[in-house]
Amino acid sequence: MRRYWIPSSALQDSQVVLEDDVFHHICNVCRQGEGNKFEVICQNKAFFVEIVELKKKQAVAKILEERQIPQLPKPHIHLALSLPKFQTVDRVVEKMVELGVSEVHLFSSDFSFLKPKAGELDKKQKRWQKIIQGATQQTGRGEMMKLTEVTPLRVLLETHFPDPGKWPLLAYEGEGGEKISTQLASAPEGIEEVWIFVGSEGGFSPKDLEIFRDYNLLPVSLGDQVLRVETACVTLVGILKYSLGQL
């Protein structure tokens, strides 16, 4: 069944009014017309609808059924990613939506791959939001994954740590990292969020590691092989979800 994300403003009593970009995507691009039935997602609910009226720039769909979509299980998983190549962000963002990550935090560190020009990230943010929306529709999750603007590493850590409700893990490809399986075996109880920090293509510098130590973030290892950024993100989140009983 086709499934589409709609803004809350589209819900009007017992019907859904499709306009602007949503109308263009559903009715023009996907060729949905009068009599067609599909699901729309909004506010952690899925609505099974049928288009009953189609105009040039607007469509009205009658709500036939409604169901509640389960919320993401706790603890929520947050991925903090040092800005890599833009194409890598594309792939990571899509996979994190599919895996049920609550939020992705982009940050800048010594080896971040790019130093974007003014306005360049605004354009990329719009692209990434479209990727998030498309992946949300495909997976059927009830809420959009959040994606933050790029923040300096220290600012990100100052904003969120220390916090007893948040448990941070630092993925590090160098020596000295404890096995992630060992860390997960001693996971604290009652946490609301698990954060995993992943470096860009260049990894983390000694200066970055000193900043992490200031906030008591110690490195964990995924083994001897160095993984690509997107491989590390998918692997880590998969391990976390299994360890937390979410798979």
Give the pair of three-digit tokens for residue 53.
Answer: 């009226």
Q: CA 39, CA 4: separation in Å to the nearest integer?
A: 6
Place of tokens 């001693």: 186
Specify the higher pLDDT residue, 72 or 187: 72
In this prediction the pTM is 0.87
DSSP code of residue 8: G
pLDDT tens-digit readout, 91-150: 999 999 999 999 999 999 998 876 666 677 888 999 999 999 989 988 888 888 999 999
Q: pLDDT (tens digit, 9 = 90+) per residue, 192-244?
A: 999 999 999 888 999 999 999 999 887 888 777 778 999 999 999 999 999 98
Query: What is the pLDDT at residue 127?
Result: 93
Tokens 């935090």 found at = 105
One-letter-per-residue 3-state SS of 52-118: EEECCCEEEEEEEEEEECCCCCCCEEEEEEECCCHHHHHHHHHHHHHCCCCEEEEEECCCCCCCCCC
CB 50, CB 2: distance < 8 Å = no
Residue 99: its pLDDT value, please?
A: 96
pLDDT digits (tens, 9 = 90+) for 27-55: 999 999 999 999 999 888 999 999 999 99
Distance CA 105, CA 14 (A): 37
